[in-house]
A and B are shown apart, each in its own frame.
Chain A
Amino acid sequence: MRYVSRIAVGPVQFRIGSDWREPVAALDRLYAAYPRDDARPADATVRLFAARPWRRWLRPSVHIGGDFVVPDALPLPLPMGLLAAEMAMNLQVALGWRRHLLLHASSVTKDGDALIMSGESGSGKSTLAALLGEGDWRLMGDEFTLIDPAGGDALAFPRAVSLKNQAIAEVAARVDAARLGPLLTGTPKGDIRHLIPRADAIAAMHEPARPALLLFPRFGGETAIEPMGEGEAFVRLTEASTNYVALGEAGFAALTRLVRETPAFGISYPDSATGIALVEQLWAEATT
């Protein structure tokens, strides 16, 4: 392919090829501070391509593909090429990764213990992780958390955080502008702006953490804390995992252990400050 980059996020080495310069240049800027080993063979291949040669220039639209292709995925216009790249990278991990149990969840860590937050898009899991990661926590990732089936540890996948809509202003107010990517407006997911994780989160991305608290946040509504039983946490996490079925017995064992050993709560919160206060309160109870 015409433009190529190599990026390592957590345990995954990506090879990204693109028909256009812009998405690769944008990725290279976001991931400039990540460790780079150009000799390492790729685990996952991502392709950003024009469906027809002339669509490279004429109303250019970016199709996403690579090792795995979703047949009906809609292309994105070139100005959203960075979002296409992010979606393509997520897709390859979601469908191809087998070394760990993959949870669609954000996570942060403190003193070797991990807080894992799982929820639908819009639950606020990314925003909470990003805000905590600007405090005295280390961000492990805003999209995927990897669980090692052998030991039960959580592993980081600290890609650039995808901030959406109101979260953009909230986080932008607290961080150096150099750590923010371009503002992408009017995407299928609303406005999006990427946040480069702090240097300590990138430097420590291979350090595992012990799951200590599972939260299922829900943004909006009255403040509430609901203790969650093992069974419900288990079912919710099977739904949040993209490779639970493919891992078979190893996935079942890893997930059973996770919900048995880790206290779980559903939380509702009207704003981020309340959400963070709830997290800190539950964390203090779980880790003492």
Chain B
Amino acid sequence: MSAVRALVDLLAGRRAAATLAPRDWDGVIGVARAEAMLATLAHRLEDAALPPSVAALFADQRAAAKVATAQALWEAEMARRALAPEGIEFVLLKGAAYAAAGLPCSVGRQIGDLDILVLAPEIRRAENALLNAGWEWVKSDSYDDFYYRAHMHELPPMIHKARDRMIDVHHTILPRTHRITPDALALVSDAVVTDDGHAVLYPADMAVHCAAHMLADGDLQGGLRNLWDFHCLTRDFAAADAGFWGKLDARAELHGLRAAVRRAARLARDLYGSVLPSGWNGQDGSDGWYRRRLLARDDWGRVTHPLLEQAFYIRSHWLRMPPMMLAKHLWTKWRKR
């Protein structure tokens, strides 16, 4: 049995936990940890019949995830206290946004850095406000600093000197040099406010960003988790709003991300059993490569297809910048090794 297959089947609900032999859990837990999804799995199987030691480990994970979510929301609050007095509005992105909005996919979801989006003209003021509030630069390298500022969709990462937590301040959701330019103004102006007063993306934009982050920007590292986010987001938004898929299509079109969103939907259907509307249900010959990349882990949590991993890494850079710039960038990075 492939552990990564078992993990995906357990999450999708295609397979009952009771059908796993005790030792099968080694691989499932190993892969889930490698994909940063152990607490997600622990929540998914909260009521399942489990071997006692697995049940105990999962209870630990659920408790720890609750603390981690509270800490991530506290970081969001800290950012608000730094930026609000300056009149800088920001939108929470990704994990912190899912948690702030109380979305089901946030339960147990690991949240890394705090990701926020501000309007491009505000970015220098946001940077100053955060520096004044105790955040400081992580990278001291002048090329990296230049690279972020000239080409990326975010400031170089900053870390808070007392709390040791990172913040990524974005002004859009794809690098400036990317072939696709999403409508950042629409993202910010259509943001919605949660009960706690945090702004998060409009639901369709949230799903678009999830797909963009996974397929148009990244190299599919952590892809199973991002795809699980996409599966849960679209499922829950569609359950609340019958017109959701149509809105998603329109927003994807607006941001130039229709292909990424369609592919994310097909992959979520193939792996997690997402139910798609008619018209979304096609096949694409190249999806197989993505599925293979997403499932490329052995029972020890190791990546199994290094060449495929490398190919997706190169692809992510290929999408991020024009060929000459990419060549120059890779040359500079190589010389600094």
Contact = CB atoms under 8 A, between A and B. Distances in A.
A251 to B, nearest CB: 9
Interface string B9-40: 00000000000001101100110011000000
A261 interface: no
B300 A41 contact: no
A43 B302 CA distance: 17
A247 B25 contact: no
B48 interface: no
A134 B129 CA distance: 59
Contacts of B30: 15, 42, 45, 67
B79 to A, nearest CB: 19
Q: In the complex, which of the residues A41, A42, A246 has the most CB atoms of chain B within 10 Å of its own CB atom?
A: A41
Interface string B286-316: 0000000000000011100000000000000
B64 A41 contact: no
Contact of A247 (B22, B56, B57, B64): B64
A42 B64 contact: no
B67 interface: yes
A248 interface: yes
Contacts, number: 58
B66 to A, nearest CB: 8
B259 interface: no
Nearest to A247: B67
B29 A41 contact: yes
Contacts of A39: 22-23
Interface string A40-73: 1111010100000000000000000011000000
Contact of A45 (B23, B67, B68, B301): B301
B54 interface: yes
A40 B53 contact: yes
Nearest to B50: A41
Contact of A246 (B29, B33, B67): B67
Contacts of A1: 300
A6 B256 CA distance: 51
A200 interface: no
Given A42-B29, A45-B26, A248 B67 contact: yes
Given A13-B53, A41-B23, A98 B33 contact: no
How many A residues are at the interface, by size bracket? Answer: 20 to 34
Nearest to B71: A248
Q: In the complex, which of the residues B63, B67, B70, B300 has the most CB atoms of chain A within 10 Å of its own CB atom?
A: B300
A47 B302 CA distance: 10
Contacts of A98: 60-61, 63-64
Interface string B262-283: 0000000000000000000000
Contacts of A13: 53
Nearest to B24: A41
A57 B220 CA distance: 33
B51 A41 contact: yes
Interface of B: 22-23, 25-26, 29-30, 33-34, 51, 53-54, 56-57, 60-61, 63-64, 67-68, 70-71, 300-302
Interface of A: 1, 13, 15, 17, 38-43, 45, 47, 66-67, 96-99, 246-250
Given A15-B26, A41-B25, 5 more contacts: A41-B23, A41-B26, A45-B30, A96-B33, A98-B60
25 contacts: A15-B26, A15-B30, A17-B300, A40-B51, A40-B53, A41-B26, A41-B51, A41-B53, A42-B25, A42-B26, A42-B30, A43-B57, A45-B29, A45-B30, A45-B301, A47-B300, A67-B34, A96-B33, A97-B60, A98-B61, A99-B60, A246-B68, A247-B67, A248-B67, A248-B71
